[in-house]
């Protein structure tokens, strides 16, 4: 084979691979939107494959076709929640860890940060205290952490079989990706950021297996209490 013939074949292989990749990313994006908008999970293994192997590329592709790259993490969390749901429900709270982000804490929180995370004093000024209290009563081990370094330590130092996590879409998707050996359930933050974030408390309690009455409000806005001295629940 001559060198020019080799380059010709090589070029064709690269072109075909590129076209296949574009088809894969397009199909994943379409299936992901169906999952998010219609709650229908189609070809979950394909979605997970694209997410795990082409995560960064998939984000760039989404942006290039005018779709906010956040959708990639949204799809990742949704698909993992659905795929893991059945297995997760078979595991007892005693074997499950609940991981909350410290950015949910009240702005005047007095809890100290230690090696295992934030040591919540359960003053109930914010939703962390409520979830921690309820979670511990049910048997969950509850951790309130500032970032993925703490999560790594928690995984290394504790025995558990399942995880419920709360975080922004990107952190949640990446954490669920890294913890793919465990049946994880994730609840994305409604408002992310470094402080004063917000979560749907009902959604977290439902993941914990708490049966809630329709329409019952747990906090004024299911998030951190904006009033410094007002306690919730």
Residues contributing to the site for ligand SF4 (CB under 6 A): 105-106, 109, 111, 120-126, 128-129
End-to-end CA distance of the chain: 77
The residue number with the shortest CB distance to ligand SF4 is 129
Q: How far is the CB of 124 from ligand SF4 (least distance, A)?
A: 5
Q: How far is the CB of 129 from ligand SF4 (least distance, A)?
A: 3
Q: Give the orientation angle of helix 70-89 with respect to helix 55-64, to 10 degrees.
A: 130
Cβ distance to ligand SF4 smaller for residue 105 or 207: 105
Start-end of H helices in 66-105: 70-89
Cβ atoms 101, 144 nearer than 8 A? yes
Q: How far is the CB of 113 from ligand SF4 (least distance, A)?
A: 11
Question: Which tokens hold the place of 19?
Answer: 């076209």
Q: How far is the CB of 120 from ligand SF4 (least distance, A)?
A: 3
Q: How far is the CB of 122 from ligand SF4 (least distance, A)?
A: 6
Query: What φ, ψ does residue 97 adopt, rounded to 5°?
Result: -105, 145
| Ramachandran class of 115: left when φ > 0, alpha when ψ lies in -120 to 50, beta otherwise | alpha
Cβ atoms 223, 190 nearer than 8 A? yes
Report the DSSP beta bridge partners of residue 142: 98
Cβ distance to ligand SF4 smaller for residue 29 or 145: 145
Sign (positive/negative) of CA torsion 73, 79, 80, 85? positive
Cβ distance to ligand SF4 smaller for residue 31 or 127: 127
Cβ distance to ligand SF4 smaller for residue 161 or 198: 198
Cβ distance to ligand SF4 smaller for residue 80 or 124: 124
Cβ distance to ligand SF4 smaller for residue 75 or 100: 100
Q: How far is the CB of 123 from ligand SF4 (least distance, A)?
A: 4
| Ramachandran class of 219: left when φ > 0, alpha when ψ lies in -120 to 50, beta otherwise | beta
CA 169 to each of CA 12, 28, 43, 164: distance values in angstroms, whole numbers, following the listed order = 38, 18, 21, 14
Q: How far is the CB of 92 from ligand SF4 (least distance, A)?
A: 25
Cβ distance to ligand SF4 smaller for residue 164 or 224: 224
């Amino acid at each position: 084979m001559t060198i020019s013939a080799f380059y010709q074949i090589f070029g064709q292989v690269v072109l075909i691979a590129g076209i296949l990749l574009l088809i894969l990313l397009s199909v994943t994006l379409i299936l992901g939107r169906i999952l998010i908008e219609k709650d229908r999970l189609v070809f979950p293994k394909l979605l997970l494959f694209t997410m795990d192997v082409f995560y960064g590329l998939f984000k760039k592709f989404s942006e290039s076709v005018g779709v906010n790259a956040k959708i990639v993490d949204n799809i990742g969390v949704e698909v993992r929640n659905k795929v893991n749901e059945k297995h997760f429900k078979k595991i007892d709270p005693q074997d499950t860890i609940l991981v909350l982000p410290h950015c949910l804490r009240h702005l005047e929180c007095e809890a100290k940060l230690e090696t295992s995370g934030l040591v919540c004093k359960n003053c109930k000024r914010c939703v962390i205290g409520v979830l921690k209290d309820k979670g511990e009563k049910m048997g969950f081990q509850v951790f309130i952490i500032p970032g993925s370094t703490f999560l790594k330590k928690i995984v290394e130092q504790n025995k558990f079989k399942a995880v419920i996590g709360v975080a922004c879409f990107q952190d949640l998707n990446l954490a669920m990706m890294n913890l793919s050996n465990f049946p994880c359930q994730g609840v994305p933050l409604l408002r992310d950021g470094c402080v004063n974030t917000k979560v749907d408390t009902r959604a977290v309690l439902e993941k914990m297996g708490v049966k809630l009455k329709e329409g019952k409000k747990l906090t004024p806005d299911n998030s951190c209490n904006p009033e410094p001295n007002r306690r919730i629940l």
